[in-house]
Amino acid sequence: MPVSRKQQAQGKWYHHGKSLGWSKDDGQIKRRRAALASRRGNYLKTARALQSLANVTQDKDTARKARADALYFYRKHQETGR
């Protein structure tokens, strides 16, 4: 997605496409179910969305949990190919 000059001036370069329904305050199972449901059961898309969240957030707790969930979904994708 191209970045406008206004966005460059403001320093905003990341735009997410869709909500994950994910919250760092939820339990591990609830977070993963919500994230997977938001991507219609596709493990790879879910992992990529969580990885991008982990990369752009400034909250360490969110980054740690999103990265852990992303790794979980990357592994599930490798196991199942889904």
Per-residue pLDDT tens digits for 44-64: 999 999 999 999 889 999 999
Beta strands in 1-82 (DSSP E): none
Per-residue pLDDT tens digits for 16-52: 667 888 899 999 999 999 999 999 999 999 999 999 9
One-letter-per-residue 3-state SS of 23-41: CCCCCHHHHHHHHHHHCCC
Contact 34, 26 (CB under 8 A): yes
> Which residue do the tokens 């329904």 mark?
21
Residue at 70: amino acid letter: A
